[in-house]
Amino acid sequence: MPVSLPQLRAFVATVDAGSFTAAALALGVGQSAVSHAVAGLEREVGGPVVLRGAATAPTPLGDRLLAHARSVLASVDALEAVVRPAPARGTVRLAAVPTVCQGLLPRLRAVWAVTLPDVDVQVCEGDDDEMPEWLEAGTVDAAVLVDPTAVPDGGVVVAQDEMAAVVRRDHPLAELPALTLDDLHEDGLVAGGGGCEHQIQLMHERAGQPFRYAHRVREMSTMFGMIQRGEGVSIVPTLGRVMLPPDLVMLPMSPGYQRTLVLSGPSSRPWHPLARALVDAV
């Protein structure tokens, strides 16, 4: 199949930028060049890969091709970086969970702004289980993995933080030096906010208790709102302290649980050279 690299670059840029015009600006070419490249790719694969409209989006066929296209381009970029090393420049996509986005990435981005001034780090927020999936599928170039079973080759531990209880500042439990799972279940545990459910499950396993909860939510804002209204208490990583409303307080857990955060590229395909640059700078 005579699919070319310019066609793949045009396709991926159009999906990421949301339009042919924005893709042309990102690639530094004319809009007609992007349109022709995408049209050529569509002829080769036998169908449309993007939906034309106010916001350009991939078709079902385009969705199936997108991860493969990203993987091919990342491999080519890695090869070119070996053959023709050049100053780090361009865009790299980085995935992280909400607490990392709020509590850790600002510090990392401050480092990268100094050491990699020509690199634009695009942040993609997701849950714990989405990080490795996005990374291996080529949806992102690098990710901050939460509690990986092993540090991937080339990855680096960038932080460790404790899981902590969150209660209202005027709650009787707020007077205790540390809280147990039993303390929290008396009030009703709000689980899942910010993608931390896996760590809460492990805490129950280590305590020899079944994992149970009064409420199960996805967004930390929802979880904090329920705690503020007196509808329960919760457990979140201490990196989430910067997101905490003033009427809520974090308290240590007994026994404690520490999670490990690892900045890494993918394990199943070559790294994007800018993913390597992020790790090296840290």
Q: Give the tens place of pLDDT for each residue, 15-73.
A: 988 899 888 888 888 888 889 899 999 999 999 999 987 778 899 999 999 988 988 88
Alpha helices in the chain (DSSP H): 5-17, 20-27, 31-45, 60-83, 98-103, 105-115, 130-137, 181-187, 197-206, 220-228, 273-281
Could you give the 3-state DSSP secondary structure of residue 18? coil
According to the CATH classification, is domain 160-257 in 3.65.10.10?
no
Q: What confidence tens digit (pLDDT) does each residue in 235-282 have?
A: 999 999 999 999 999 999 999 999 999 999 998 888 888 898 999 988
Which CATH number is associated with domain 90-157+261-281?
A: 3.40.190.10
Instruction: In whole angstroms, give the CA distance from residue 211 to residue 205.
Output: 7
Phi-psi category of residue 168: left, alpha or beta, with phi > 0 → left and psi -120 to 50 → alpha: beta
On average, the pLDDT of the chain sits at 89
Q: What's phi and psi for 81, nearest 5 deg?
A: -65, -30
Could you give the 3-state DSSP secondary structure of residue 90? strand
Crossing angle (nearest 10°) for helices 5-17 and 20-27:
120
Q: Where in the chain is the domain with CATH 3.40.190.10?
A: 90-157+261-281
Q: Where in the chain is the domain with CATH 3.40.190.290?
A: 160-257
Which CATH number is associated with domain 5-83?
A: 1.10.10.10
pTM of the complete model: 0.70
Q: Do residues 94 and 140 touch, judged by C-beta distance below 8 A? A: yes
- Supply the pLDDT for residue 194: 66
Q: Do residues 136 and 70 touch, judged by C-beta distance below 8 A? A: no
Instruction: In whole angstroms, give the CA distance from residue 178 to residue 256.
Output: 9
